[in-house]
Amino acid sequence: MNLFAIRKGERRDAWTAFVTLFGVVASNALLETARDALFLSRVEAGRLPWVFLAVSLLSVGLVKINAKLGRDLSPRGALCAVTLTASAITLVFFVLHGELGVWGLYGLYVWSGLLTTFVLAQFWDLVGGRFTLTQAKRLYAFIGAGSVLGAIAGSGAASLLSRGVSPVRLVLLSALGLVAAGLLPLLFEHRSLPAQTVEQRAPALRDALAYVADGPYARRAVAALSLAAVCLTLSDFVFKSATAALVPRAELGAFLGSVYFGVNVLALICQLGLVAWALRRISLGAACGLLPALLIATGLGFVATGALAAAVALKLFDGSLRASLHRTTAELLVLPLGEKGSERAKAFIDRVGQRGGQVLASLAILGLTALGVPTRALALLLVLLAAVWLAYSLSLRKPYVALFRARLNAARSRHIEELPELDMSSLEAMHDALQSANDREVLAALETLERENKPQLVLTLLVYHPSEQVVLKVLAFLARSGRKSAVPTIDRLSAHGSPKVRAAALAARAVLQPDAQRLRARLAAEESSEVRAAIVASLLVERAFDAADHERELDALLSQGAWPARVALAEAIGRRRASGFDGVLIQLGAAKEPQVRLAAVVAMGQIASPALLPALVDALAEEVTRHDAEGALAMQAGAACDVLRKRFEDTATDGTLRWRLPRAIALCSPERAVPALVSWLSDEPNGAMRFGILLELERLLRAHPHLPLDRAALTRSMHQTITRAYVHLDARLLLIRGAAQDASRKTKGHQLLHDLLRDKELNTRGRLFRLLSLLHPTENFAQVYRSLGLSGELRAAGMELVESILREPIRSAVLGLIDDCEDRQRLARSGRFHHPWRIGYLELLTRLSLSESNAVRQVARFHACELGLSVEAVREHRAA
């Protein structure tokens, strides 16, 4: 089992980091045990603050040395150099311990404190440059286990050896261990690094301070780590002071070795269980807050009792979490700042935050102990400072999320969401286009004015345009605009050579200035059947015939009239908004000619009769009439919504029409559409229809962001979507496993079904992020989803946002769907949303043949037939 999810391509560096850290920490644990036993047996515990102070001040110099090594050597070379140098210095203390006397003990204590800064700073710089934040959150738990195991090995060996070997010998063993650890970094994979300037690799303290001061996240992260340095220094002193007071000096070595061994065993348990869980299940800030929370609890215990057991409990939680969770989260805190940002933040933390915190803590201890303040009072100070540390840790979430949000937004390509309204420059350009010699430009300008609902801007003189198509379009505009001033100009078209133009001119005039007598006179003189039909249509609408003639002419026109005549009839009804013609429009709306159907739908919109709503809904299914049908339905918002909703909820409704209904409902009434769409989303079995509903919800909420949403229904739909995605993943894995067990199953149908399930999973994942956008309208989940298709830092930023925004159990399930690990590992993260199927190949095909997806059903049955299984056999197997 791959407990820490180490993936191919990461193993060499991850294992090298693990072993190197193991060697360094094991050697340091030997040295610390020897140091504490030697120092506390010959020097008063009250001298410890002076040692802490010296370590803090000298660490600043080591930071500069580390920075210089980082400029002059590769990261691997720098780590080798500092580790071997640390080994040599440790060996000097062993050789000269007799000559150095008590001052040698002070020097050894200071050096053991410096060694961690000297070596581990280079180690984490090297490791941090090799993994993204997403990788680090997976791998640091494993790499950090090397630290804990090394501490256990070192303290355990020290505890055993201290019973028969003097503590001085442990110093020698520590030096030898550092020699071996100093060679291990050469096993890291070689990487060529771009040339960097001194300023890039070693930012000045002033630049680091400015960077931290300007960034909300950097400020809080540095404050939390600085308070951590103060609290951990106080905690260490409280434990050692209580130990020196309550444990006999002869037993100090064995006692400290046992305590440190217990601390490290507990640290290993935390590293293997707590660290990975915390980084996966809770936010980074909350994970950082676990240690101060436990320090508060155990510190209060010591304040209340002053017992050695309470001091040991304080050390157990301090040491175990400091070596595991705190060390890991401290490194992770600066990674989101990017390469340059983390360098500046680390420079400030190393030189000011951590060391400054240790200096402040040391000075406070010196001052308070000089005043005779008891150890229990120092423990109370620790509790108060830990509370502030906890508050800063918990406040990290908001700026942490904002950091990744800003990173994704910086990479987002800008696009135009909608067309702007016409301004003066646009109108001038439109005027020029209407006068263009190019017919296409004139028609495009007319269509733009039609879309913008600006018929009044159409020039009347365009009726003299040489293009018949342009003239017809202009006449339609003039009729809709109601501009009676255009009638004299229209009358001049009565002698136009085109029958279509003459017919359109007569129809437009009949709308603008009805005159039945004029029409009758023109009917007697007109020779064109097309023009005569238009005149008859206008007379029918004006009811200029007696009842018998009216019925006869109308029946003849509907049953025998050419399609232009029926178009003219529909246009006349619509333009005059004539009542009593609902049945005529319904009949025209069912005509076989698309021109007639379109004219009928346009007229229905102008009439706005409730009796026409069913016909308008039917017109949504056809692309030719859809747009005008949507507009006509929107004119009768309330009544149209009821009809549309009933048609959608009728399972017998044609699929093409059902696809159009959500959009039509949204155009009728956004307020009524949102709850209807949300309720349908969780009940709709058709995946394409669910996608259409989602698209319409997105459009609605972009236009009306304040409309209320049923979050419970949306959450239920999201849960169903997650389940569907894992079902597709599980079925695909079973399909692969079945083909591996029997090669005869690997047919064309098998490959087709495999690809279909993969595409289904990807499509479902896309719908999931659309749902997340609806549930979290302030977050740009569309941009997050796009970032997942990229690589490197942008993908890591997207993953971090998902992990930071979502809560369990949804967080783990969503991360499982978008992670780039092996499919089996992704399936294992389904949680309560899906229990992996434990079924055979035939049962798999049986389930897929009954899928809610028609495509999956058909392909599964096709594959079953390839294998010699009939659909009936599959069903019978399911029934059995």
Of 552, 524, 522, the C-alpha closest to 540 is 552
Question: According to the model, what pLDDT value does residue 48 have?
Answer: 66
Shared-domain flag, residues 742 and 634: no
Per residue in 577-586, pLDDT (tens digit) is 888 889 989 9
Q: What is the CATH number of the domain that holds 84?
A: 1.20.1250.20
Shared-domain flag, residues 228 and 258: yes
Q: Does 654 map to a domain? A: no
Question: According to the model, what pLDDT value does residue 274 have?
Answer: 81
Q: Does 668 map to a domain? A: no
Shared-domain flag, residues 357 and 453: no
Spatial contact of 678 and 713, defined as CB atoms under 8 Å apart: yes
Calculate the average pLDDT of the chain. 81
Q: Burial letters for 412-421: b for 16+ Cβ neighbours within 10 Å, e otherwise?
A: eeeeeeeeee
Q: What distances in angstroms separate CA 650 from CA 342, 645, 658, one per listed residue?
A: 59, 9, 9
% of the chain at pLDDT higher than 90: 21
Average confidence (pLDDT) over 308-325: 86
Q: Does 546 map to a domain? A: yes
Q: Is the pLDDT of residue 194 over 80?
A: no
Q: Does 413 map to a domain? A: no
Q: Is the pLDDT of residue 66 over 70?
A: no
Spatial contact of 665 and 673, defined as CB atoms under 8 Å apart: yes
Shared-domain flag, residues 332 and 467: no
Q: At what angle do helices 468-481 and 439-451 cross, to 10 degrees?
A: 20
Per residue in 500-556, pLDDT (tens digit) is 777 777 777 777 777 777 777 777 777 777 777 777 777 788 777 788 888 888 888
Shared-domain flag, residues 376 and 467: no
Cα 543 to chain centroid distance, Å, stands at 64
Shared-domain flag, residues 604 and 570: yes
Q: Is the pLDDT of residue 422 over 60?
A: no
H helices of 349-438, in order, are 355-370, 375-394, 397-410, 424-434
Q: What distances in angstroms separate CA 718 from CA 241, 693, 783, one per listed residue?
A: 56, 13, 19
Listed residues 643, 673, 695: the one ending a domain: 643
Q: Is the pLDDT of residue 467 over 60?
A: yes
Of 238, 396, 405, the C-alpha closest to 330 is 396
Q: What is the CATH number of the domain that holds 440?
A: 1.25.10
Give the predicted TM-score (pTM) of the model.
0.67
Listed residues 617, 643, 669: the one ending a domain: 643
What residues make up the domain containing 291?
A: 11-188+201-407
Residues 6+ apart with CB under 8 A from 195: none
Question: According to the model, what pLDDT value does residue 791 have?
Answer: 67
Per residue in 336-370, pLDDT (tens digit) is 776 677 777 776 776 667 767 777 887 888 888 88
3-state secondary structure of 822: coil
Q: Does 478 map to a domain? A: yes
Question: According to the model, what pLDDT value does residue 293 have?
Answer: 93
Total structural domains within the chain: 3
Between 650 and 70, residue with greater pLDDT:
650
Shared-domain flag, residues 358 and 474: no
Q: What distances in angstroms separate CA 316 from CA 260, 270, 877, one per listed residue?
A: 8, 11, 60
Q: Does 5 map to a domain? A: no
Shared-domain flag, residues 183 and 291: yes
Shared-domain flag, residues 760 and 789: yes
Shared-domain flag, residues 786 and 724: yes
Shared-domain flag, residues 17 and 146: yes
% of the chain at pLDDT higher than 70: 86
Q: Does 534 map to a domain? A: yes
Listed residues 643, 669, 696: the one ending a domain: 643
> HEC profile for 452-521?
CCCHHHCCHHHHHCCCHHHHHHHHHHHHHHCCHHHHHHHHHHHHCCCHHHHHHHHHHHHHHCCCHHHHHH
Q: What distances in angstroms separate CA 209 from CA 19, 397, 406, 631, one per listed residue?
A: 35, 22, 22, 61
Q: Is the pLDDT of residue 752 over 90?
A: yes
Question: According to the model, what pLDDT value does residue 451 have?
Answer: 64
Residue with tokens 């698309």: 594
Question: According to the model, what pLDDT value does residue 873 have?
Answer: 58
Per residue in 19-41, pLDDT (tens digit) is 998 988 888 888 887 777 777 67
Q: Does 262 map to a domain? A: yes
Shared-domain flag, residues 290 and 387: yes
Spatial contact of 105 and 96, defined as CB atoms under 8 Å apart: no
Between 820 and 644, residue with greater pLDDT:
644
